[in-house]
Chains A and B, each alone.
Chain A
Amino acid sequence: MRYLWWRLSVFVVIAVWPFHWARQAWLLALGPDPGKVLLNRLGLGVLVLLLVTLAMTPLQRSTAWPGWFLIRRQLGLWCLAYALLHLAAYLVFVLGLDWSQLGVELRDRPYIIVGALALLGLLVLAVTSNRYSQKRLGKKWKQLHRLVYGVVGLGLLHFLWVVRSDLKEWAIYACVAVILLLLRVPAVARRIPRFSGGKRVSATKV
């Protein structure tokens, strides 16, 4: 496997955080409401991973190093894994596994609905991330996977509706997302500087 150590270190670096947080919670280092802290960190984790995933294409274009694309699918799957952990934390620590309340929340709370839609989007992307789906879907695969832009938008909206009074942190994530999306506008993408003088690698190569 090409770049095995690179892929493996990315895997380890991302996998380690939930364990680290669980350990902190166990040692009572997360304060009196550890469930809420875990919930927030996992949610923020999804957003950060989504942005990192979106950074792979521009990085590939500007450096022509194939390593970026090699971890893109892995990053996408991590987004889903963190999102599922975020959902589990919500069900356990906020709803106390009260399923009837989940129905009420899904009906009445816009930010929960938006979060659920984003999670569904991630699920669709994860399920179709294998080579078989890529072959079956052909050109449509690329169109389908542009859904990730929508997922980022929904995620930011979900986050915005949780903020109560200070938009600074949210604004930083939103700015990064806007920049990463702008880099995909063809007119902008053409102008991304290339730091490697070497041969061009097709951007569609997976």
Chain B
Amino acid sequence: MLIKFPKASDCLESQVTPESLYLSRRALLGSSAAALALAGLPDWAAAADASLYPDAEPSKAPTWLARQLSHAKWQAMTVQGEAITPFKDATHYNNFYEFGTEKSDPGDNAGALQTEPWSVVVDGEVGKPGRYALEDFMKPYQLEERIYRLRCVEAWSMVIPWIGFPISALLKQVEPTSKAKYIRFETLQDAKTMPGVRSSFALINWPYVEGLRLDEAMNPLAILAVGMYGRELANQNGAPLRLVVPWKYGFKSVKSIVRISLVAEQPKTTWQDLAPSEYGFYANVNPKVDHPRWTQARERRLPSGLFSPNVRDTLMFNGYVEEVASLYSGMDLRKNY
């Protein structure tokens, strides 16, 4: 392996090969040990297209997921001319307040999260309610890779290759009744493994709740993800099951889902509950509607270097106007932020 040391003069070098400096001896040892372990597994058990993302940490997906990954539709959707965020950044710069409010906290603390066994409750206005083991819950679905922009309400953004399936397929399975108008998602609330849930200074009412209008959930862009970078989700990214709605601010994409309910009334969502003037139910990415405390006109695409900040204009609906604008025709997006 070639290790490059930047000279004082070439400040752009750091942008080109950040991984080489990130890699510590410990990480190298760890990954080579993991590679050895992987070599002992049958072919389909290894991440199907690990070579696509050489910087992703090798991992061992649960058997059911490895099987489903082996016939996933790779690159079902991509972004034009935009670089995928390095795996290290996508997994070490996270908002997952159950594990702490610092960006590095989820990466440091989410290792304690037990994702196997995992079960998902489906209830409310559905024909087929029930509690499902995750692998049974996942059986009917064809996995697809979707490379999406991710825009956080805090004005930073990334590009992430997710693996998941459209929520519309789930809705077909669970048969919503005619009363169902919204879909509500709930994150695991486990004080034992989640320091943020234990904190007595937290202003959030746990569990974390998010929701979509039913027609938003039916939009083909809205997916439930089980993987990223050709592998399973890292715990800090919301393993084992999370929502991804790329035209909305990141906080809508609820992580580590344990309950999915079809409901008649608009659900009370976590951030809206905490600060209704700052976070609306819709939370569509919109450069023209500022957060009361900061502008949303621009964003820092990460990694954004110290000497060459990667600041760019934010796009309406995060660049997914064609796909989703019709959902909001006739609505005043200043009022329905």
Contact = CB atoms under 8 A, between A and B. Distances in A.
Interface of A: 22, 25-28, 30-36, 38, 92-94, 96, 101, 104-105, 108-109, 111, 161-162, 164-168, 171
B231 interface: no
B201 A168 contact: yes
A34 B306 contact: yes
B295 A101 contact: yes
Interface of B: 14, 18, 21-22, 85-86, 89, 92-93, 97, 101, 103-104, 156, 196, 199, 201-204, 274, 290, 292-295, 297-298, 300, 302-306, 309, 311
* The 8 residue pairs across chains A and B that have the minimum distance between CB atoms: A168-B201, A32-B303, A32-B89, A32-B302, A96-B311, A25-B306, A166-B101, A167-B201
Nearest to B88: A32
A94 B291 CA distance: 14
B203 A166 contact: yes
B309 A31 contact: no
Chain A, interface SS category: helix
Contacts of B21: 27-28
Contacts of A38: 306
Main SS of the interface on chain B? Answer: loop
B309 A96 contact: yes
A113 to B, nearest CB: 12
Contact of A111 (B156, B274, B293, B300): B293
Contacts of A22: 306
Given A101-B295, A165-B274, A166-B196, A31 B203 contact: no
Contacts of B18: 28
B277 to A, nearest CB: 12
Contacts of B304: 32-35, 93
B293 A168 contact: no
Contacts of B204: 165
B202 A166 contact: yes
